């Protein structure tokens, strides 16, 4: 018989939710309400059933590409009893091409100084051209960074969520329940990918969007292992009648 | 001033090589200004998107990202005003 506490702490606040998701991350003791106590019985913490996640520290670096049990992260459509298990971005090495292009573009005005016809332009137009050039480079850097930063794949203990932020005018968020996952495949090809251990994870589901691709994510084997553990836990929940 | 007078003055400018060159550079300058104002629209879109995305997924550095987006917008506005001033 679970012990039931009375408390005025709101159960759906992000702080309470984070504390429930990552008990080790919070030093404060939060008295669970009756619903939280019932949830604790019905809903096990990821560390209890996932051997892979048990060995992972809670992520605290917002810029990391592999974010196990992120302390800071919160998702708009996260249900009250749903917790983020793993968040993934493309491996940081995938940013190298746009960083190189940006550095070369920044050197553009320096190179143009050696072009003989440039002094023919009035000084004020030369200045405007240089300002415009650097603004365009800044825009390119900002868009490339945001495209990497907000292109996130999230695995919660109930769903997988794919946030595609291709550019400033295109955003797509799709999700599928863990128990709808039918097949998970990882692929790591090429010298750099093998060396730095990153690749694609392809998840096939029975839902409306029947294919999720986590592109260039770090440690794809570990991601697959976590997803398989989540699927097993979902099956166990159904068998034990702990389905919410 | 009548429209015919404006046309006459424009044709006179075309007849004067120095004035024509100045007119040409001024037109190029105004094209730059137009470009900078289009860039302000882009900077506004960046601010809007950062707001939307930080609302969709909270990352822990939402405040910093929003400040960066606003700084970018302010810089774009200042450059556009500066361009308008010197053209």
The residues near A107 (Cβ < 8 Å, ≥ 6 apart) are none
Minimal Cα–Cα distance from A124 to chain B, Å? 7
Q: Answer for the pair A88, B57: CB distance below 8 angstroms, yes or no.
A: no
B-chain CB neighbours of A173 within 8 Å are 56
- For residue B84, pLDDT over 50 is answered with yes
CB A39 within 8 A of CB A30: no
Separation between Cα atoms, residue A24 and residue A86, nearest integer Å: 16
- Cβ pair B46:A143 closer than 8 A: yes
Measured distance CA(A55)–CA(A57) in Å, rounded: 7
In this complex, do A76 and B35 lie within 8 Å of one another by their Cβ atoms? Answer: no
Task: Supply the DSSP string of A50-102, one letter for each residue.
Answer: -HHHHTSPPP--TT-SEEES-SS-EETT--TT--EEEEE---GGGGHHHHHHH
Residue labelled with tokens 């919070």: A26
Q: What is the mean pLDDT of residues B76-80?
A: 95
pLDDT in 10s for each residue of chain A, 244 residues: 343 333 333 344 444 444 444 444 444 444 555 555 555 556 778 787 778 788 788 888 888 899 888 877 777 777 878 888 899 999 999 999 999 999 999 998 888 777 776 677 788 888 898 999 999 999 999 999 999 999 999 999 888 998 887 777 777 888 888 888 988 998 888 899 889 989 999 999 886 667 888 999 999 999 999 999 989 888 888 888 766 5
- The token pair that represents A43 in the structure block: 């809903």
- B11-49 pLDDT per residue, tens: 776 677 777 777 778 888 899 999 999 999 999 999 999
Token reading at A79: 């249900």
Distance CA B57, CA A182 (A): 26
Determine, for residues B60 and A143 on separate chains, whether the beta-carbon distance falls below 8 Å: no
pLDDT of residue A105: 94
Tell me the shortest Cα–Cα distance from B64 to chain A, in angstroms.
11
- pLDDT, residue A12, reads 42
Work out the end-to-end distance of chain B between its first and last CA atoms, rounded to an integer number of angstroms.
24
pTM of the model: 0.78
- Asked if residues A214 and A223 have their Cβ atoms less than 8 Å apart, the reply is yes
Kindly write down the DSSP assignment for every residue of A122-145, as one continuous string: -HHHHHHHHHHHHHHHHHHHHHHH
> Which residues, 6+ apart, have CB-to-CB distance to A143 below 8 Å?
A167, A168, B46
Residue with tokens 């398989």: A228
Q: Which phi-psi region, left, alpha or beta, contains residue B60 (left: φ > 0; alpha: ψ -120 to 50)?
A: left
Q: Are A119 and A129 in contact (CB under 8 A)?
A: no
The pLDDT value recorded for residue A103 is 96
Q: Of A177, A238, A239, which is closest to residue A203 (Cα–Cα)? A: A177
* B58 vs A: CB within 8 A: yes
User: What is this model's ipTM?
Assistant: 0.80
């Amino acid at each position: 018989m679970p012990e039931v506490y009375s408390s005025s702490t709101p159960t759906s606040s992000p702080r309470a939710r984070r504390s429930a998701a990552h008990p080790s991350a919070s030093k404060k003791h939060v008295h669970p309400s009756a619903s939280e106590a019932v949830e604790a019985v019905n809903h096990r913490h990821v560390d209890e059933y996932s051997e892979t996640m048990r060995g992972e520290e809670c992520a605290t670096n917002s810029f990391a590409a592999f974010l196990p049990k992120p302390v800071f992260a919160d998702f708009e459509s996260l249900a009250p009893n749903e917790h983020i298990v793993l968040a993934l971005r493309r491996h940081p090495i995938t940013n190298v091409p746009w960083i190189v292009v940006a550095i070369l573009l920044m050197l553009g005005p320096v190179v143009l100084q050696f072009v003989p016809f440039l002094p023919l332009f009035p000084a004020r137009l030369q200045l405007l051209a240089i300002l415009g050039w650097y603004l365009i480079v800044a825009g390119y850097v900002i868009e490339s960074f945001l495209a990497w930063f907000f292109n996130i794949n999230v695995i919660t203990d109930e769903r997988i969520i794919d946030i595609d932020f291709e550019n400033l005018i295109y955003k797509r968020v799709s999700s599928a329940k863990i128990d709808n996952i039918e097949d998970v495949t990882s692929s790591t090809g090429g010298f750099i990918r093998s060396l730095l251990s990153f690749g694609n994870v392809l998840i096939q589901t029975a839902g409306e969007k029947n294919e999720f691709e986590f592109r260039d994510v770090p440690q794809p084997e570990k991601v697959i292992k976590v997803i398989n553990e989540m699927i097993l836990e979902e099956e166990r929940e159904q068998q034990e009648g702990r389905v919410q | 001033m009548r429209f015919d007078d404006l046309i006459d003055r424009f044709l006179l400018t075309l007849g004067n090589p120095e004035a024509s060159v100045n007119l040409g550079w001024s037109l190029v300058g105004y094209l730059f200004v137009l470009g900078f104002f289009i860039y302000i629209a882009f900077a506004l879109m960046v601010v809007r998107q950062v707001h939307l995305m930080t609302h969709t997924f909270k990352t822990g550095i939402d405040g910093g990202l929003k400040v960066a987006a606003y700084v970018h917008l302010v810089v774009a506005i200042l450059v556009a005003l500066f361009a308008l001033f010197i053209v």
